[in-house]
């Protein structure tokens, strides 16, 4: 949604007419970005998930440690992509 809003504001500030076609293109771009992000996150989680299946206790313990790191990384990525991180930093800087 943040990408969509940013492109809309750029178009609005350049005083170009915003038509239904442009809005449709922006919505498709947003959908593609969201889909690619979901695929990247899913692929990166596969090795962590596979670490839980097996008889080796050390491997499961390492998978738990990687799970914690992956959760933190995924949360930061989602917050950054959604624009929430920008909003928080902007609020902290501008007050």
Specify the pLDDT at position 8: 64
Specify the pLDDT at position 94: 83
The one-digit pLDDT tens for each residue of the chain (95 residues) are: 566 666 666 666 655 455 677 777 877 887 888 788 888 888 988 888 888 887 888 888 888 888 998 899 888 888 777 777 778 877 888 86
Distances, alpha carbon 93 to alpha carbons 2, 89, 90, in Å: 19, 6, 5
Dmax of the chain from CA atoms? 63
Specify the pLDDT at position 7: 63
Phi, psi dihedral angles at 34 (to 5 degrees) = -65, -40
pTM of this prediction?
0.56
């Amino acid at each position: 949604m943040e990408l969509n809003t940013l492109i809309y504001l750029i178009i609005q500030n350049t005083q170009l007419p915003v038509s239904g076609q442009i809005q449709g293109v922006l919505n498709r771009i947003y959908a593609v970005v969201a889909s690619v992000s979901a695929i990247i996150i899913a692929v990166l989680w596969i090795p962590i998930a596979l670490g839980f299946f097996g008889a080796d206790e050390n491997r499961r313990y390492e998978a738990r440690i990687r799970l914690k790191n992956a959760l933190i990384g995924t949360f930061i990525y989602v917050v950054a992509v959604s624009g929430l991180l920008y909003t928080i930093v902007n609020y902290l800087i501008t007050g």
